[in-house]
Structure 1
Amino acid sequence: MRRVAVTAALLMLITSLSPMMAVSGQTAPTDTIYINEILVSPNNENYGGTDWNGDGSMGTYSDQYVELYNPTSQAIDIGGWWLDDIADGGSPACSIGWNTVLEPGAYIAFYRSWTGIEFDYWDGDTIRLLDGSGIEVDSVSYTGEDSDWDVPYGFDSGGNWVKLSDGSPTPGGANDQEWGGANHLQGNCYPPQDHIHRGEYILEGRVVTMESENSVIDDGRILVIDGIIEAVWSATDSAPAAAQGVMSVPTSGTIYPGFIDPHNHAKYNIIPLWDHGTDGWDNRYQWQAEDSYRDAKEVGCSLTDSSAMRFAELRAIAGGNTALQGSSTSNTDTFETMLARNIELYNFGRDYIHTKVSELESSYSGNHIKDGNASGELDAWFLHLAEGIDESSRAEFDILVQNDLLVGEIVVIHGTGLTQAEFDALGNVGGSLAWSPTSNLILYGETTDVATAKSEGVNIMIGPDWAPSGSKSSMHELKTADWWDENVLGDIFTDYELVQAITTNIVDAIGWGDQTGRIQAGLAADLVVLDTFHSDPYRNVVEAIDPDVRLVVVGGLAVFGDVDIMQAMDDEIQIIEGKGFTKATDITYDGVPEAQQTVDELLAELQSCNQGAQVPLEYLFTLGDERYFDVLNRSLSFQNGRTIDLWGDYYDVELNEDGHRVDGTVAGAGPIIIDPGNSESENTEASCSDGVDNDGDPYIDCDDFDCSGTMVCSEPEPVPEPELPVLWDTYGPRGGTIPHPTTIEEGIHLEECMSDATT
């Protein structure tokens, strides 16, 4: 179970120095940055709403904002300042990103999609700005049930704080001017972040580092300390000193970097595969207009409820994903503080990653993308583009080029309609493609021309897309990709390249390569352990299915896996029964109100809201999801004259009574026995010379630190050579009572001197 690590001093500082201020009749200051405008009730797309921050999502969860203004004549760095709502309650405070400089006369807007701060409509709220010491700089308030749709609060032309009923929101600009559009200055604001994991342990197993194809350690060890990989070595080598006495966990499996999902829409992942019964469409706008599509989403549960979001997270880690793209902007606590990482949210001390799902209009300027590319700050831009097989889909790429938005950080999601010319241009700038073959085939009957994309030098990623038309995780999506590669493309991808497409190809493209995605010292301990049933470690991933997921570790914390290994690494596990196998997890989190449910409570709540709905809930695992395979096998578009039998080719495996492959290494390994490092002593002359690992740490004889004090493992202390000075005082022939500096080259001459009482 994770616990939030926010220092008591910070909390005391923010709460004690920040009293709530009433703002009736408040006037705008002139000598410091102040809150100039807030929007409590932004309209959504169903009621003519505006995408105020340009992120492709409209409504409360994304577009609530607070705008700051600098009325002074000096540029002010507000990096490290804090935004918060009501003291001693409401949402957690967030810290404004470092080096956020507000020029004289400039405005900057902070949106809920970044801050996570909810403005409370029902009870009213107070929005506060605090400096880096926690001292309140400004605050504004509004009363409950007072705000109107798309009507902001702000300072009027007379400098008075009022509800601006006669005006439209103007984030990023003056309140009495027309709004300049979504390309205004927007700020980043992050809640306090600390290491998720505290402590240390060693994982044993075959280690696939993904540093190169041949970088495989057959009997490897990984030391994890406070969520970071401290060391990686072979059991045949001497262990690092930091590993002495550390608990060691024999996984009996193969350890990989965690799998990463570059294409998803997580809030939809309680919806099962869409059984649309057609031969597909030409583009995404056609199927989105179908009544059957709207009906397919009617599972009876809110897609933005915390239970639905946590199910999406659980579904991801159950398939080996340690990070995924495409979380909702609502209930982001679920994604930021537990289970898998979310690519768009704050990670590794920085984040400049954008996503656009909606249509790329010819009028779209995307200045934030251009500016980020020019400054070098942009990490990645995930863009849904050319999702379809017709000319209109392909032509979206022309808009991208015409608007100068073809940048090297781009990740084109789908790209189904692109041809050689477009892939050539994409490859020339160093762009990437997120390939989702299952979803493409379900919706369009064909998939992206990845063979041409590969030949043109485009970086290939593989992602599962959402539940209504995709797979449950990156590991499962590899099955469709592998089938397509072998049966249609002529085996142009090696198994190593397929695994790269769910690991290193992604982290290198989004600026995470120095933080995760490989197994090496200094990187985050984002790991997945699979049962070993294939001698080729990469084929082992391609063919792996749900029971093979031995352990999933995110930031050093064990979040999912087999019962025995989770019991060894977590003191509060919850059991999940699959069909023929059993897993364990821990999805509770003391620091997040939405994360108090156990798995049983979570599933019970979803089943309750699903009662009476015509569409069933998504099943957590692929193995055992009979409906999933039935829909695929009957799908006119997925099959499209082909015979794609994923069940027969990948999932029809024999499990033993414990739910493991009968031909895997886990089935024959027996239960895990964890030794904390000192079950028996290994510190005597006999135990340090018997060739046996007596204390199970697992170091033998003189390789064990505990033996360092024994005679058999000690070498005689060498007698140091005397260190003679270069110069010293001597009382030789130069004078019996006067010291003279003498060098070693001159030699030493001693004389016997006679003395009497008078001398």
Structure 2
Amino acid sequence: MEGIIMKLRKHLAILIGILIFSLGCAPTQKIAQKKSTGEIIAQKVVPSQLKIYPDKSTGKRYDQYSAIVLIGKIATMDEDENREIQVIDNGKVIIVGEKIDTILLDGQKFPPDLDSTGAIFLNTHGIIFPGLVNAHDHVHYNLIGIWDAPKKYTNRYQWPQNKGMRVDVKYAKYVAQDKKYFGIQAEAMKYAEVKQLISGTTAVQGAPNGAKKFCNILVRNMDVSPNFGFKRMSPYVRDVTKVKDDKIQRWLDKMNEGKLDALFFHIAEGTDDVARNEFDFLVEHGLGRKETIIIHGTALDEEQIRYMSDHDMSVIWSPVSNLLLYGETADIPTYYEDGVNICLGTDWSPSGGKNLLDELKIAYEYNKTNFGGILSYEDMAKFVTCNPADAIGWKDYCGRIKSGLYADIMVISDNKTNPFEALVDATERDVELVFIGGDPLYGDSIFMAKLKPGDFEYIKTPCGFTKCLDFTKNDVQLGNQTFEYVVSILQKALSFDPDYMEQKFHDKRIQNYDSFDDYLDAKFSGYHPVQLDPIYACMDTYFFDALRNSKNANLSFDIQKIYYSWVPDSVLKK
């Protein structure tokens, strides 16, 4: 009898949590159920407040024009003979098909071989940048919000053992995406890619090996699917010191044969000798070379960094994740002064920036307060455009605004004299237009209605702006799913409703238990509803609170106050 009462209490607690969760009655909480007593525990979360609805207009599509002409200030990210980035005021970028055909200076005439009468001209009044390249992110975890690390760790093998990490982060990922459970990995991945796209990011490293259901629809997945007609990248996430010699030799053979341009390793993530010694293992086994990309490099000393410089190696800096987990980040001034190619990556949403625009802000402010301001706005822009493109062998394909390269492009508001400062200053409301391979996928309605009438959804935010997203693609499996639908099924999966879980789970081990409750207790002890991480930072109170309150990071600045003061009081507390 006592056991039945406990189960009834438990279900009641979860149902109350789901009710509050779904109604949005507690805007800064998620509801957790404490197994031993059925007590509701408040944990921070933000309810979804987006209004998503389809466009029903008609008209001529972007691919029915002879060219798309973007007019505005062009930050090419391409250096001239004096090694200065070329910035063109009132220039024109002409897109034909998937590529950038021509760049025109102010006053230059339309190329005679192109039909200007059949082109569409878009005066952006903005700054035209290459699409941002997120050099590292565990994309499949990005439906989950930021995790409150309970202590400071010294290497990456420690915090995954924390029970809170398992309950608050890993349960949500497994339950949503594993085939034994809800099995909606494609939907979770597409949602996570939207979080990239809304910041002007057009390519990301770190997706799971995979499915065409998500790899061929939104942003470029750098290392798990072909891009530009080839695939010459590979990630390795596990402990590199345990790799077998024959696998290392296969990597080296591919590098020597020109079949492997970039091999991504998590190296020296943390602060101790366990982290630091991983780099020495790479060098000892012949992998200290240009094709090897070092993710994090937090623990590396000056001699190791100098080795990287001498061998044209690149490092991916993820300051938010480093600071939240370890209380320190990479020695960027030494990397910078030694000439190591630096790229920026968000790592993952449980401990990283919500997107590259936020990662840029934290990196820049930390540079001012902790690095003596050694990095300029232009440096920051390079970290997310030309630098990662060069690191991974994509220099001839993207990362710059240049004739012949693919039209991976973002347009942001021109609200600063310095275009690079405008990029660091930009928030999601400033992203006016995003192209990938000449395909306009996201932006303001004034542009999307002209380019893709009837083929996008409006996303109305409570932050005072509305954006447009083309989420569908007819020739991809599940490509007809709308963003509104994907948001709804992910929210329902993460509600951890036991009745819905019992209805949808496919785990054959369920039959080994007396009840589904017993199964859940055994497999997901301590489970609770989890809020789907908001795609926009302006809506995410907890993200800013976590940065402010982190004892590990101990930040002396507040990016919400610096960059998001425009958000209405009703959305974010000041």
SS in 2 for 1:454: helix
Which of these residues, 509, 527, 548, is aligned with residue 633 of structure 1?
548
Deviation track 1:267-291 (CA, whole Å, cap 9, x = no partner) reads 1100100023x23211111101111
CA contact (8 A) 1:197 1:555 kept: no
Which of these residues, 216, 232, 235, is aligned with residue 352 of structure 1?
232
Q: Give the letter for the 2:541 counterpart.
A: E
SS in 2 for 1:583: strand
Q: Which residue pairs with 1:238 in the alignment?
A: 109
SS in 2 for 1:376: coil
Q: Distance between the aligned counterparts of 2:88 and 2:559, measured in 1?
A: 31
Equivalent residue runs for 1:198-597 within 5 Å: 199=65, 200-212=67-79, 213-241=84-112, 242-245=114-117, 246-276=119-149, 278-297=150-169, 298-299=171-172, 300-302=175-177, 305-335=185-215, 337-344=216-223, 345-365=225-245, 366-571=248-453, 572-578=455-461, 579-597=463-481
SS in 2 for 1:486: helix
Q: How far 1:302 moved relative to its partner?
A: 2.3
SS in 1 for 2:263: strand
Q: Distance between the aligned counterparts of 1:592 and 1:559, measured in 2?
A: 15
SS in 2 for 1:594: coil
SS in 2 for 1:593: coil
Which of these residues, 599, 617, 632, is aligned with residue 532 of structure 2?
617
Q: How far 1:234 moved relative to its partner?
A: 2.1
Q: Distance between the aligned counterparts of 1:374 and 1:391, measured in 2?
A: 31
Q: How far 1:518 moved relative to its partner?
A: 0.9
Q: Give the letter for the 2:561 counterpart.
A: G
Deviation track 1:123-181 (CA, whole Å, cap 9, x = no partner) reads xxxxxxxxxxxxxxxxxxxxxxxxxxxxxxxxxxxxxxxxxxxxxxxxxxxxxxxxxxx
CA contact (8 A) 2:98 2:406 kept: yes
Q: Which residue pairs with 2:8 in the alignment?
A: none
Q: Distance between the aligned counterparts of 1:312 and 1:275, measured in 2?
A: 20
Deviation track 1:111-132 (CA, whole Å, cap 9, x = no partner) reads xxxxxxxxxxxxxxxxxxxxxx
Q: How far 1:293 moved relative to its partner?
A: 0.6
Q: Distance between the aligned counterparts of 2:115 and 2:382, measured in 1?
A: 30
CA contact (8 A) 2:297 2:315 kept: yes
Q: Among all aligned residue pairs of Structure 1 and Structure 2, give the percentage whose two residues are the same amino acid.
A: 33
TM-score by length of 2: 0.77
CA contact (8 A) 1:319 1:472 kept: no
Q: Distance between the aligned counterparts of 1:561 and 1:307, measured in 2?
A: 21
Q: Distance between the aligned counterparts of 1:355 and 1:361, measured in 2?
A: 15
Q: Distance between the aligned counterparts of 2:210 and 2:435, measured in 1?
A: 25
Q: Distance between the aligned counterparts of 1:198 and 1:312, measured in 2?
A: 30
Q: How far 1:552 moved relative to its partner?
A: 0.5
Q: Distance between the aligned counterparts of 2:544 and 2:478, measured in 1?
A: 33
Q: Distance between the aligned counterparts of 2:128 and 2:147, measured in 1?
A: 34
TM-score by length of 1: 0.59
Number of aligned residue pairs: 457
Q: Distance between the aligned counterparts of 2:432 and 2:242, measured in 1?
A: 48
Deviation track 1:468-489 (CA, whole Å, cap 9, x = no partner) reads 0111222221011101111110
CA contact (8 A) 1:434 1:461 kept: yes
CA contact (8 A) 1:223 1:243 kept: no
Q: Give the letter for the 2:264 counterpart.
A: F
Change (3 A) 1:533 1:421: same
Q: Which residue pairs with 1:648 in the alignment?
A: 561
Deviation track 1:501-548 (CA, whole Å, cap 9, x = no partner) reads 100011111111111111111110000000111010000001110100
CA contact (8 A) 2:494 2:531 kept: yes
Equivalent residue runs for 1:86-235 within 5 Å: 199=65, 200-212=67-79, 213-235=84-106
Q: How far 1:214 moved relative to its partner?
A: 4.3
SS in 2 for 1:381: strand
Change (3 A) 1:396 1:214: closer
Q: Give the letter for the 1:310 counterpart.
A: K
Q: How far 1:376 moved relative to its partner?
A: 2.9
Change (3 A) 1:471 1:332: farther
Q: Which residue pairs with 1:108 in the alignment?
A: none
Q: Give the letter for the 1:204 counterpart.
A: I
CA contact (8 A) 1:261 1:323 kept: yes
Deviation track 1:8-27 (CA, whole Å, cap 9, x = no partner) reads xxxxxxxxxxxxxxxxxxxx
Q: Which residue pairs with 2:33 in the alignment?
A: none
Q: Give the letter for the 1:249 counterpart.
A: L
CA contact (8 A) 1:387 1:417 kept: yes
Q: How far 1:197 moved relative to its partner?
A: 6.2
Q: How far 1:391 moved relative to its partner?
A: 1.1
Which of these residues, 598, 601, 607, is aligned with residue 485 of structure 2?
601
Q: Distance between the aligned counterparts of 2:69 and 2:98, measured in 1?
A: 12
Q: Distance between the aligned counterparts of 1:397 and 1:265, measured in 2?
A: 21
Q: How far 1:654 moved relative to its partner?
A: 6.5
Q: Give the letter for the 2:143 counterpart.
A: I
Q: Distance between the aligned counterparts of 1:368 and 1:548, measured in 2?
A: 45
Q: How far 1:614 moved relative to its partner?
A: 2.9
Change (3 A) 1:233 1:629: same
SS in 1 for 2:537: coil
Q: How far 1:243 moved relative to its partner?
A: 4.8
Q: Distance between the aligned counterparts of 2:164 and 2:330, measured in 1?
A: 25
| Structure with higher helix content | 2
Q: Distance between the aligned counterparts of 2:243 and 2:442, measured in 1?
A: 45
CA contact (8 A) 1:438 1:469 kept: yes
Segments of structure 1 that go 5 or more residues without pairing to the other structure are 1-195, 660-759
Q: Give the letter for the 2:130 counterpart.
A: P
Deviation track 1:480-499 (CA, whole Å, cap 9, x = no partner) reads 11011111101111111110
Q: Distance between the aligned counterparts of 1:233 and 1:429, measured in 2?
A: 37
Q: Distance between the aligned counterparts of 1:404 and 1:516, measured in 2?
A: 29
SS in 1 for 2:329: coil
CA contact (8 A) 2:398 2:407 kept: yes
Q: Distance between the aligned counterparts of 1:306 and 1:567, measured in 2?
A: 27
CA contact (8 A) 2:212 2:477 kept: no
Q: Give the letter for the 1:441 counterpart.
A: L
Q: Give the letter for the 2:552 counterpart.
A: S
Instruction: Please identify runs of 4+ aligned residues in structure 1 that moved more than 3 A.
Output: 196-199
Q: Give the letter for the 2:144 counterpart.
A: I
Which structure's CA Rg is the greater one? Answer: 1
SS in 1 for 2:70: strand
SS in 2 for 1:215: strand
> Alpha carbon RMSD of aligned pairs, Å?
1.8
Change (3 A) 1:214 1:354: closer
CA contact (8 A) 1:264 1:463 kept: yes
Q: Distance between the aligned counterparts of 2:214 and 2:351, measured in 1?
A: 24
SS in 2 for 1:349: coil
Q: How far 1:198 moved relative to its partner?
A: 7.0
CA contact (8 A) 2:134 2:201 kept: yes
